[in-house]
Homo-oligomer: A and B are copies of this chain.
Amino acid sequence: MKIITISREFGSGGRELGKRLAEVLDYDYYDKEIITAIASNKGLDEDYVARSIEQDRWQNIPLTFHQSVAGIPLDTTHTDLLLEQKRVIEEIAKKGKNCVIVGRNADVLLRDYHPFNIFVCADMEAKIRRCLERSPEDECLNTKEMERKISKVDKSRAQTRSLVTGGSWGDRSAYHLTVNTSSWNLQELTLAIAEFSKSWYERTSS
């Protein structure tokens, strides 16, 4: 079984890259499907689950899932949802099918399955452009506001990673490959990364 995980900066095109990679390689693809599963298992609304998991109410709590949470004023619903997310991701791996998983610290949660871990980044200018092009019609952020939003989402991702893994988000040594999408067409980049990941899996099987 081959698992590719994609961690990404907000606006870098990492999600699109993951989706295209799954298509090109004919792998299963998991992203929002994980939120759907959590919501279904817990009998909760999907939007609520998505918003709760991506909240940034906690700050700098050096905590892993294996440590006790006793005495720490954590939002228990949030912790509960992260634990359910961990369970859902482990279930995906147990299916034994090749897949691409976007986000959710799957690289660390599934480390025993030896996934190929990619981090996707981009120049701030390119991220702002991409986000402005794709933002909902009713959002209407200007460039400065979009830059703030990007920084805020990434900060929240870094905090969740610290909470879930104790590790640093985007730290180069934590991933097998870190790729900057700024000067690429995502379709062409997908093909280049698909080839690279094939080499990686050939390497481990030889």
Contact partner of A180 (CB less than 8 A), chosen from B122, B170, B173, B204, is B173
Instruction: Say how many copies of this protein the assembly contains.
Output: 2
**A61 in contact (CB, < 8 A):** no
Residues of B within 8 Å of A175, CB to CB, are: 178, 180
- Give the bracket for the number of chain A residues in contact with chain B: 20 to 34
Q: Which of B121, B184, B200 contacts A172 (CB 8 A)?
A: B121
Give the segment of A86-94, A133-141, A189-197 that binds chain B: A189-197
Q: Is B203 a contact of A188 with CB atoms below 8 Å?
A: yes
A180 and B182 CA atoms in complex are apart in Å by 20
Q: Which residues of B contact A178 (CB under 8 A)?
A: 119, 172, 175, 177-179
Cβ 8 A contact of A121, one of B173, B182, B188: B173
A87 to chain B, nearest CB (A): 27
Additional A-B contacts beyond A121-B173, A170-B172, A184-B203 (4; CB < 8 A): A177-B177, A178-B178, A191-B199, A195-B196
Q: 5 closest pairs, A vs B, by CB?
A: A178-B178, A192-B199, A172-B178, A121-B172, A188-B203
